[in-house]
Amino acid sequence: MSIPAVEESWARVDAWLARHAPRTHATLRPPAPRAGIEAAERTLGVPFPPDLVASLRCHDGVELGDDAMDLASYGALCAVADIVRSTTLLGGVTEEAEEGAERLPLTRGSARGASDALFLTCRPGPHHGRVVGYFDGSVPCLPPSPSPSLRHFLADLAEALNGGFPFLGHTPSAVDGRLVWETERTVPADPVSPLTHAGTLAEPESDPPALRRPVFPDDAGAPPPSQGSGTRRLSFVRTGRPRPAPLPDQPDVVFAAGLTPDEMLRRLGAVPGTVRPRDRRQAQRAVESAWAAHRPLVRAGERGGWAFATLEGGAAQFARPAVLRALSAGTRVVVLTRQGPEVALTFAEDGVPCPQERTRRVMSPRKPHTAGGPWARRLGVDLWPGSTAAYTRFLAVLEQEFGITYDPAEEGPTELTGALLLPLLDDLPEAEDEPPARVGDFDLARLVESTPPQRLRVAVAAQLSRLASETGIDTYPEVAEALDRIHRGLPVRCDQDDPLGVRMRTLTAEVHAARELLRDDGTVSVSVSGEDFTAWVARDHAAHALREFVRLPLLAAAATILQQRASFRRDEGAEDVREA
């Protein structure tokens, strides 16, 4: 997905709180001094992830009190001093102090002491900067909506506040000027399907007829005055404000050595019925239509022994770990992306994304006194001139270091084979990530210790079936078949291209399309409600829980399944064990 910068998400959070929950908004602390952040990094012996620095530079945590901004059941955001204090305390317990902290507290926890808190991982590797939960400061768990970065986390928080969507398993509300989190969970049935509606439409073939501007006569084209009349003719010429020079095309682009364009499209998850040649303008027209249902569209070509693909619309794809793994299998990949103020050059080889520290990234400050949204660039307004220049510099790096000569302006008018994407599923969490000991007030660890593995598996499968029924995913034949095979003790295939995997990818696409349709101005031919969006999110999460049951250790899957249940009772687990 196209994720806004930390500063943009905080601006949306601030605006919502100021309007709906001013008492809670007043508890947000001023920005942390950069010198204080640097001193904390020296004290803890670890550099803070860039997203954390950006967040602290917006607000240095929260002032505690009855009106404080808590994040559902995970407590208030930490200030720099809280991070140092909690990390030092936990470092003594986990023996991390001598080698530098492996995680930094993001919230103060439900007991305001790093108990049941959220953390940012600091260990170098693919999960650097990821938001994770820890019960009692030591038992790791995934929050209800895991976030690969604080940037994603804050974007989800801003989206939840402004749209009334669930966040961390709770729904935000404002009562007497305070932010409160409601725990009621319902799963609407039969949600409106943006992708089903899109399947009834045809892709727009060409641009609509250009609107003709009225022509006004000028002095040269006006009829001459009558001879000898002695009169003068006054003519008016209508002029428009001159448009600024168009900005250069700077799409996200990925290069893979030795692949063909067709193979690149297949690895990216192209929808077969949408494959055909398009130039860039045709691709832009397509993704702006209801036919695309907010799915991304890629165009693929070949240049100097490298296949390349460019992205239009939808959610950003090329730098996602799952996509990098798929594209780089048996080869090497270079990705150039631009998302608002950020330009990045990312690498992967033989199915392994390179560590984040090898990613070359440039962040550009926003141009002062310039307002605008996604439409601004089309009107020639450059909100991030530093990023525009950085993208051009990275094009030179591609040529110098990889021999890739690429000019978006030359590629744009060329017809290249393109297709809509059904985005690949995200990577599952690492098996080493331990699940929580408790889910709500249910003692999961005790149940596991007292139950033989086979009986436990049957009991968890029963909970999975209830979750599928609650959310409605058991109406899909691929899911129904998978549940039947699970209950009969048979293996279930769930790779990206398997029917079950395609169904799960479709559900993820439905969530993104429903979210984007909620933001539309009502001019589209299909509309969705907040209840529709909630239903698709619930189905997507339930499908993710099914995938974890198939692919991960049982205890990790059990925690996810119980967390996603809308009406789980403490006695259900014991009942399922007795019936197993």
Average pLDDT along the chain: 82
DSSP-derived 3-state class of residue 458: helix
Q: Which of 358, 401, 364, 370 is nearest to 385 (CA)?
A: 364
Residue scoring higher pLDDT (310 or 145): 310
User: Would you state the pLDDT for residue 396?
Assistant: 95
Which residues, 6+ apart, have CB-to-CB distance to 117 below 8 Å?
A: 74, 75, 86, 105, 106, 107, 108, 109, 110, 133, 134, 137
User: Would you state the pLDDT for residue 539?
Assistant: 95
Q: Cβ atoms within 10 A of the Cβ of 318, count?
A: 25
Q: Cβ atoms within 10 A of the Cβ of 536, count?
A: 25
DSSP state of 78: P
Q: Phi, psi (5° rounding) for residue 511? A: -60, -50
259: tokens are 């692949």
Please write down the HEC assignment for all residues of 345-408: EEEEECCEECCHHHCEEEECCCCCCCCCCCCCHHHCCCCCHHHHHHHHHHHHHHHHHHCCCCCH
Contact 72, 165 (CB under 8 A): no
Residue 346 φ/ψ region, left for φ over 0, alpha for ψ in the -120 to 50 degree band, beta for the rest: beta
Helix (H) or strand (E) holding 444: helix 444-450
Mean pLDDT, rounded, for 462-486: 95
pLDDT at 216 over 70: no
Mean pLDDT, rounded, for 368-377: 55
Q: Which of 549, 545, 526 is nearest to 537 (CA)?
A: 545
Taking the complete model, does pTM exceed 0.85, yes or no?
A: no
User: Would you state the pLDDT for residue 214?
Assistant: 39
HSE value, Cβ hemisphere, 13 Å, CA-based, for 277: 5
Contact 92, 138 (CB under 8 A): no
Tens of pLDDT, residue by residue over 420-470, are 999 999 988 775 556 666 665 566 777 777 788 888 899 899 999 999 999
pLDDT at 527 over 80: yes
Q: Which of 317, 337, 495 is nearest to 423 (CA)?
A: 317
User: Would you state the pLDDT for residue 35?
Assistant: 94
Confidence of residue 124 (pLDDT cuts 50, 70, 90): confident
Task: State how far the Cα of 232 lies from the Cα of 235, in Å rounded to an integer.
Answer: 10
Confidence of residue 143 (pLDDT cuts 50, 70, 90): low
pLDDT at 168 over 70: yes
Confidence of residue 365 (pLDDT cuts 50, 70, 90): confident
User: Would you state the pLDDT for residue 340?
Assistant: 79
Residue scoring higher pLDDT (210 or 131): 131
pLDDT at 286 over 50: yes
Which residues, 6+ apart, have CB-to-CB distance to 318 below 8 Å?
A: 252, 253, 254, 309, 311, 324, 335, 337, 346
pLDDT at 503 over 80: yes
Percent over 70 (pLDDT), the chain: 78
Mean pLDDT, rounded, for 342-351: 94
Tens of pLDDT, residue by residue over 71-106, are 877 889 999 999 999 888 776 434 443 445 778 989
Residue with tokens 């020296």: 42
Residues 351, 356, 359, 362, Cα dihedral to 10°:
150
169: tokens are 């398993």
Residue 454 φ/ψ region, left for φ over 0, alpha for ψ in the -120 to 50 degree band, beta for the rest: alpha
Most confident of 65-69, 199-203, 376-380: 199-203
Mean pLDDT, rounded, for 387-404: 93
Mean pLDDT, rounded, for 197-223: 58
Residue with tokens 């003709």: 212
pLDDT at 566 over 70: yes
